[in-house]
Amino acid sequence: MGILEVQNVNKRFGGLQALNNVNLNVQKGTVHAIIGPNGAGKSTLLNCFVGRLTPDTGSVMFDGQSLLGLTPHQINQTGVSRVFQTPEIFTDLSVLENVMIPAFAKRDGSFRLNPFGKVQSEAEIRDHAEETLRDMGLADKRNMLASEMSRGDKRRLEMAMCLVQDPKLLLLDEPTAGMARADTNRTIDLLKHIGETRGITKVVIEHDMHVVFSLADTITVMAQGAVIVEDKPENIKGHPKVREAYLGEAQV
Ligand SMILES: Nc1ncnc2c1ncn2[C@@H]1O[C@H](COP(=O)(O)OP(=O)(O)OP(=O)(O)O)[C@@H](O)[C@H]1O
């Protein structure tokens, strides 16, 4: 059984079938990439995992619990965290403060759910935030204003803001979009590192095949709202259906 199980999900926008009977099974502890040409339905699917969209039909189960009908905040409390394409950071706060805020939000949210549980102190939250910044290679920038960071560092800061909540599932929407190659490689190494140290399951939407083939254990290929192939990376490369889907775009 997967940690994330999607069954027969359909989503229509007016006359457009954006998701067509999509099935997806993400195994715990793995990196699962979703690729496909522009308009394939990748973001629409991701939005169904975080409560931004509700499928017309089908089910989305995370860790044995249905996510349908939950608000984005409630989904976050179940252990799902999402890194957006455009960093959503507090530009006028320091890097460390940016990472402490979601840790406080997580603590206060879980306190509401379980008032008898152990409550993290401010010092514990600060320590955890510092450790997370180290994991994302940002420790030396902890006192910098977030607005002064490079684009790549801003994206890694947003990853740190998700990681500090100790999610079970991290959703990454084009984590290296707009980065130069050296910055992309650094991000790949950091994501591999947190995979080894924290064992978080990751779902990655990505156009950059270098990133996909460096990180993914499994790849799902979508086209026109449907899953066309799901397999290990070595079987995806050169797959005729995948080539066909990408005709006229970057070759896989
Ligand atoms: N809110 C919406 N209303 C109407 N149509 C939408 C909406 N969101 C997405 N679509 C359409 O649904 C289809 C799938 O879009 P989606 O953004 O999921 O594709 P994608 O695979 O993520 O593409 P890209 O790689 O370009 O981000 C597209 O044709 C898009 O125009």
Residue identifier of the C-alpha nearest atom 2 of ligand 1: 13
**Total Cβ atoms within 10 A of residue 122:** 11
Residue identifier of the C-alpha nearest atom 17 of ligand 1: 43
In 3D space, the residue among 214, 208, 210, 190 whose CA is nearest the CA of residue 200 turns out to be 190
CATH of domain 1-75+203-252: 3.40.50.300
Give 42 Cα–ligand 1 centroid separation in angstroms. Answer: 8
Helix (H) or strand (E) holding 173: strand 169-173
Q: Provide the residue count of the chain.
A: 252
- What are the sequence ranges of the domains in the chain? 1-75+203-252
Residue identifier of the C-alpha nearest atom 30 of ligand 1: 39
Residues with CB under 6 A from ligand 1: 13, 16, 18, 36, 38-44
List the chain pLDDT tens, one digit each, 252 residues: 799 999 999 999 999 999 999 999 999 999 999 999 999 999 999 999 999 999 999 999 999 999 999 998 899 889 999 886 666 789 899 999 999 998 888 777 655 555 565 667 888 999 999 999 999 999 999 999 999 999 889 989 999 999 999 999 999 999 998 888 999 999 999 999 888 888 899 999 999 999 999 999 999 999 999 999 999 999 998 888 888 888 656 556
In 3D space, the residue among 201, 214, 209, 215 whose CA is nearest the CA of residue 239 turns out to be 209
Give 224 Cα–ligand 1 centroid separation in angstroms. Answer: 10
Give 55 Cα–ligand 1 centroid separation in angstroms. Answer: 14
In 3D space, the residue among 211, 206, 161, 167 whose CA is nearest the CA of residue 185 turns out to be 211
**In testing the pocket of ligand 1, which one of 43, 203, 221 has its CB within 8 Å of the most ligand atoms?**
43
Give 18 Cα–ligand 1 centroid separation in angstroms. Answer: 7
Question: Above 0.95 for ipTM, yes or no?
Answer: yes
Nearest atom, ligand 1, residue 14 CA: 4
Whole-number Å distance between alpha carbons of 176 and 72: 24
Whole-number Å distance between alpha carbons of 82 and 49: 9
Pairing between β-strand 31-35 and β-strand 218-223 as defined by DSSP bridges? parallel
